[in-house]
Amino acid sequence: MPILFTQFLDGESIYSCCGCAANIADNDELVSKAFQGRHGRAYLFSNVVNVTHGPAEERMLITGMHTVCDIQCSVCGNVLGWKYESAYEESQKYKEGKYILEKARVVLKRSGGETGDDTRVVGGSSPSDDDSE
């Protein structure tokens, strides 16, 4: 069985997996909160940690065709969102190499142990809206 190494982030505000509390992203890596995922609101990050990538696949999203791969928590396996591998439309190229984290799949923890307004549990609605399938 492989040894699991988990990276810990030390920023003031950290997004963690709602299933196991593994650190996923530092708030300093947040690019935008104006996205939609499969389960409601989603956030665009420039970098994440403690995730594994699924196979790349083409998906037609609200903003056009993209090549994406789902990302899962490397500790518990929860699907947290996806990574943009490529965008076909020039106006969407800024997303390439960035990550979507679904708000319903992560918890924001601030230094001092308090949780932020972005605390959510797994659950969700049907796929729809801006950048979902």
CA dist 63 and 124 (Å) reads: 21
* pLDDT for the residue numbered 68: 98
* pLDDT for the residue numbered 4: 66
* pLDDT for the residue numbered 127: 33
Which residues, given as ranges, of the chain have pLDDT below 50?
117-130, 133
* pLDDT for the residue numbered 114: 57
* pLDDT for the residue numbered 111: 81
Tokens of 117: 């307004």
* pLDDT for the residue numbered 123: 35
Q: Which residues of 21-40 are buried (b: 16+ CB within 10 A; e: fewer)?
A: ebbbbbbebbeeeebbbbbb
* pLDDT for the residue numbered 133: 42
